[in-house]
C-alpha cells in the first residue's frame, strides 16, 4: 500500500498514512481527536547523495566503475 502525507490546514501538522490508492483523497480523521481537517499533500523525497553532494544524480548499475563497466574494461583503471 502507498504511503501518503496529509497536512492540517490550521496548524501545518503533517501525518503519514498507508492507505489503498482508492482511499488516497478520502477524509482523514484527526489522530488527536481535535476535529482538525487534513488534506493530502503532494509528497517529495530526496536521496542521501546527489549532484549537490558531489555524487551523480543518475543511478550506477553494476560493475565497479562509475561508468557501469567492470574494472579494467573502460580504461579508468
- Residue 34 DSSP one-character state: S
Whole-number average pLDDT of the chain? 78
Tell me how far apart the alpha carbons of residues 40 and 66 are, in angstroms, rounded to a whole number: 38
Task: Identify the domain containing residue 8 by its residue range.
Answer: 3-42
Residue 47 falls within a domain, yes or no?
no
Residue 51 falls within a domain, yes or no?
no
Domains: count for the chain:
1
pLDDT tens by residue, 11-44: 999 999 999 999 999 989 999 999 999 999 987 7
Amino acid at each position: 500500500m502507498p504511503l501518503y502525507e496529509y497536512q492540517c490546514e490550521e496548524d501545518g501538522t503533517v501525518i503519514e498514512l498507508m492507505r489503498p490508492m482508492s482511499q488516497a483523497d478520502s477524509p482523514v480523521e484527526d489522530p488527536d481527536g481535535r476535529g482538525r481537517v487534513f488534506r493530502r499533500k503532494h509528497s517529495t523525497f530526496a536521496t542521501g547523495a546527489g549532484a549537490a553532494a558531489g555524487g551523480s544524480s543518475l543511478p550506477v548499475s553494476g560493475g565497479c566503475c562509475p561508468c557501469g563497466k567492470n574494472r579494467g574494461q573502460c580504461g579508468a583503471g
